[in-house]
């Protein structure tokens, strides 16, 4: 799933979620505009994102992704240390 891949890209190098690496969303995943729209669509379907599905990683997209990550990070990356 695109959302889970983006969360994996946000994890700090030390394996913690103390400092989400929001700058990695585009760079590490190298998402195309189509993939970014899919990310936004998935976040919208989960009720976390209410912005435009336009392929731009806005502050609203980042906020929705962080909300998803905080709830699901242990399931996505079970070795995470808090």
Residue-wise pLDDT tens digits, 39-64: 999 999 999 999 999 998 888 988 89
Phi, psi for 79 (deg, rounded to 5): -90, 5
What count of other Cβ atoms lies within 10 Å of the Cβ of residue 78?
A: 7
- Provide the mean pLDDT of the chain: 78
Residue 14: what pLDDT? 58
Tell me the Ramachandran region of residue 15: left when phi exceeds 0, alpha when psi lies from -120 to 50, beta otherwise: left
Residue 7: what pLDDT? 75
Is the pLDDT at 22 greater than 70? The verdict is no
Tell me the Ramachandran region of residue 71: left when phi exceeds 0, alpha when psi lies from -120 to 50, beta otherwise: alpha
pTM: 0.73
| 25-42 pLDDT per residue, tens | 666 556 888 988 999 999
Structure token pair of residue 68: 């998803």
Structure token pair of residue 14: 């030390």
The CA distance from 11 to 82, in Å, is: 11
């Amino acid at each position: 799933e695109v959302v889970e891949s983006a969360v994996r890209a946000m994890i700090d190098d030390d394996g913690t979620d103390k400092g989400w690496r929001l700058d990695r969303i585009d760079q590490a995943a190298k998402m195309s505009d189509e993939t970014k729209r899919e990310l936004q669509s998935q976040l919208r379907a989960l009720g976390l994102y209410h912005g435009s599905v336009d392929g731009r990683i806005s502050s609203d997209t980042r906020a929705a992704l962080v909300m998803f990550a905080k709830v699901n990070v242990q399931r996505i990356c079970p070795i995470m240390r808090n």
